[in-house]
Amino acid sequence: MCKKIVILILTVVIGLTLISCNKTTTPAAPTDKEKSTTSEKSTDDTSKTDNTSQPEKKPEILSGTLEIWSSGEELGRFVKGFNEIYPDITINITVVPNADFIAKLTPTLASGQGAPDIFTGESDYVKYLVEAGYWDDLRLEQYQAKTEDVWEYIVSVGTDAGGVLRALSWQSSPGSIMYRRDLALDALGTDDPQEVGAMLATNEEMLKVAEKLKAKDIKMFASWQDIFNMQFSNRKQPWVVDDKLIIDDSMLEFMDMAKIIMEKGYDLGVDPWAPEWIAAVESKDTFCYVLPSWGYQFVVKPGANTTKGKWAMCQGPVPYVKGGTWLGIYKDSPNKKLAWAFLEYCCLNAKVLQDYGAEYGEFVSVKSANHALAKGEGEEVLGGQNPFVFYNEQMNKLPADLMTGYDGTINGAFLSTTKDYATGVLDKDAAIAQFKEDVKNAYPDLTIE
C-alpha cells in the first residue's frame, strides 16, 4: 500500500513538472478580458482612430491587464493619462535595464512563455528586433497605424527589410551641439546659435574653434566619444550592407579627429557618463556636449543650476539623429486590442504627445505635436531658445536611416579601437585591423575585407 502511495505521489509530481515544462500544453492564457462592445462598428471605430483622435471621442470600452517590458522609465509617464480614457486597463510596466534587456527578452520570446504584450527596443538593437518578426505588423487590419504625421525616420527604423511596419516610438532624438553661451561670447565673440553653428560647419573648422578655446584654457568637448553620435550620421552607408562590413570614409576621418582631440587636449579625457563628464554641465571650462535631444533632457537640463540660461543649441558639421526607443506589439499577445490602444495613445496621438512634450521637454515622434510645441516659449536653461524649433529644422535635414541590427556591438568595437589609436597604443592600420578582427569575432558570418 505504501509503495502504491509513493508511486502515486511521484507520478503526480513528475506529471505536474512535465506539464509546467511543456509549453504546448500551456493554455493560451485567456488574460484578454477585452469587453469590446462586440459590434463590428465599434471595432471599426478603433481602427479608424488616427493621430488626430481626441480622448473625448468616447473610445471603445476595454478592460484587462497589459504587460509591458521597457528598458526605460519614460513609458510610465503615459499611464495616468491613458487610464483616464481606459480606466479598466491595468498597465504593468516592468523596467529592465538596457544592458540586460535582450538577455531577458530573447529567451522569453523564443520559449513563448510569459512574453509581454508590448516590449521596447533601443536604437542599438531595435533593428535586430524589427527583423526578427516578433513584433506584429502595425498595418494589419486590427491596427491600421496611420503614420503620415510621424517623422519618416521613426517609421523607417521601425520597418523591416520586407517593408512591414513593426514598431513606433513616442520620441525622436535629433542631434545638436549644446554649447555654453558665456564661453562662446568670451572666446568666439558671439553666442548666437546661427553664428556659432556657422563656425562649426565642418570637422576642420570645429577643430579650429577647439584651438581658439584652448588658448583660453577651455576644453571644447566633454568627451571626444560624444562626437561619434554625430559622425554616425555622416556616413554614406550603414555598417553592414549585404552581409559585408563597410567602413565608411567618415569613420576613418573620425579616428583622426579623435586622435587630434586627445593629443591636443581638446576634451576632458573621460568617457561619456563618467561623473566628471556629467559634472561638466556646471564647469567653468567645458564648452560643449555633442548630444541628441535626450542629452539635453537627461544631462544638461537637470544638471544646469548656476549655468541656467548660459546654454544654447546649434548644428554641427552634420545634422544627425542618435538613439531612441521603439515599441511594438508581441505577435502572439492575447491582448492585442489593449496593446494597440496603448501604443496608439503613446506613439500616434498628437494631442497626448504635445502635452507630454510640454510637460517633459522631450522631442516627440509626431510632427504636428512638435510644430505646436515650437510655438511655445523657449527654455530657461537655453537662454530662451526653443529646442523644438531647432529640432524640427534638424529632422527635416536628416540623412537616410543607417541603422542595422549590428550597431550596438560594432559601435562599441569601433570606439574601443579608435581609443587605442587616439591614445597612441596602436597605429591606424593596426587599429583598423583590430576593429575588423573584433567584428569578425562577434559576427563570423560577415564578409570582412
Residues that bind other proteins (CB under 8 A): 1-3, 6, 9-10, 13-14, 17, 21, 99, 102-103, 106-107, 109-110, 128, 132-134, 268-271, 274-277, 408-409, 412-413, 416, 419-420, 423, 425, 441-444
Distance CA 8, CA 18 (A): 15
CB of 413 to other proteins, least distance (A): 8
CB of 291 to other proteins, least distance (A): 18
CB of 112 to other proteins, least distance (A): 11
CB of 32 to other proteins, least distance (A): 24
- Show Cβ contacts of residue 322 under 8 Å, excluding neighbours closer than 6 positions: 123, 173, 175, 229, 230, 232, 233, 292
Buried b or exposed e, range 159-194, using 16+ CB within 10 angstroms: bbeeebbbbbbbbbbbbbbbbbbebbeebbeebebe
| Lookup: cell for 313 | 543649441
Residue (183 or 268) nearer to other proteins, CB = 268
How many angstroms separate the Cα of 23 from the Cα of each of 12, 17, 88, 116, 158?
18, 12, 30, 16, 30
CB of 11 to other proteins, least distance (A): 11
Buried b or exposed e, range 284-312, using 16+ CB within 10 angstroms: eebbbbbbbbbbbbebbbeebeebebbbb
Distance CA 80, CA 54 (A): 16
CB of 2 to other proteins, least distance (A): 4
Residue (8 or 201) nearer to other proteins, CB = 8
Residue (219 or 336) nearer to other proteins, CB = 219
Residue (60 or 420) nearer to other proteins, CB = 420
Residue (133 or 376) nearer to other proteins, CB = 133
- Length of the chain equals 449
Residue (128 or 360) nearer to other proteins, CB = 128
Question: Three-class SS of residue 193?
Answer: helix
CB of 1 to other proteins, least distance (A): 6
| Lookup: cell for 80 | 495616468
Give which of 72, 89, 154 is closest to 348, Cα–Cα. 154
Residue (257 or 431) nearer to other proteins, CB = 431
